[in-house]
Each structure stands twice: as C-alpha cells, then as structure tokens.
C-alpha cells in the first residue's frame, strides 16, 4: 500500500550531509519526494512510496548519516497523493 510520510528531524542535522544521504536512501528505496533544510536548524522530508519502504526511511532518520546527532524527530502519516516523479534536495 502506498502512503505519504512527513518527517522533521532536529539536532546536529545540517552540515553533515543529511540531505544528500536522505536522497541516497530514498533513491535506493524507490521513494519519491523531497528533503530540505529548515531555518530552525532542522531537516524536513516529504516522502511517498510503499509504506514498508517509508518505514525503512523513517527508521533511518532516527540516526541519519555518520556525523549527525538526531535529538528529536516528529512524523505524520498522510494520504498518498502521487505528487512526485523523483526524490530531490530542495533549497
């Protein structure tokens, strides 16, 4: 079943290639959507795909790449919108 996941990650998540690694994870899992830095120092992710694959991405966001230190993350499940053709890093 396809779904949509909205995640916001806080901690040491900027300047540690969190966005690039999120894109790599999403591409590997065949997930579409985007990731971007937030002005409050967090990273925001909107992702669509098979729920099982989104759950894998969500688990990965709890830790992130080497160098990241995730102190808190929040997420919501949303209705699948089939809004994206690929996964991108937004600025």
**What pLDDT, on a 0 to 100 scale, did the predictor assign at position 79?**
97
Rounded average pLDDT over 15-24? 98
**Does domain 2-90 correspond to CATH entry 3.30.470.20?**
no
**What pLDDT, on a 0 to 100 scale, did the predictor assign at position 8?**
98
pTM of the model: 0.96
Q: Which of 21, 37, 69, 90 is catalytic?
A: 37
CB atoms within 10 A of CB 4: 21
4 classed as catalytic: no
Rounded average pLDDT over 10-28? 98
**What pLDDT, on a 0 to 100 scale, did the predictor assign at position 7?**
98
- The Cα 14–Cα 49 span in angstroms is 25
Q: Where are the domains of the chain?
A: 2-90
- The Cα 42–Cα 37 span in angstroms is 6
DSSP helix/strand/coil, 17: coil
pLDDT band, very low/low/confident/very high, at 34 (cuts 50, 70, 90) = very high
Phi-psi region of 67 (alpha: psi -120 to 50; beta: other; left: phi over 0): left
19 classed as catalytic: yes
**How far is C-alpha 61 from the chain's CA centre?**
7
**What pLDDT, on a 0 to 100 scale, did the predictor assign at position 64?**
96
């Amino acid at each position: 079943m396809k779904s949509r996941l909205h995640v916001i990650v806080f901690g040491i998540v900027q300047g540690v290639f969190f966005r690039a690694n999120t894109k790599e994870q999403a591409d590997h899992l065949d997930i579409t959507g985007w990731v971007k830095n937030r002005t409050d120092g967090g990273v925001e992710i909107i992702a669509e795909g098979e729920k099982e694959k989104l759950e894998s991405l969500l688990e990965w966001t709890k830790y992130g790449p080497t160098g990241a230190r995730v102190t808190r993350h929040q997420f919501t499940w949303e209705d699948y919108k089939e809004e994206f053709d690929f996964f991108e890093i937004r600025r």
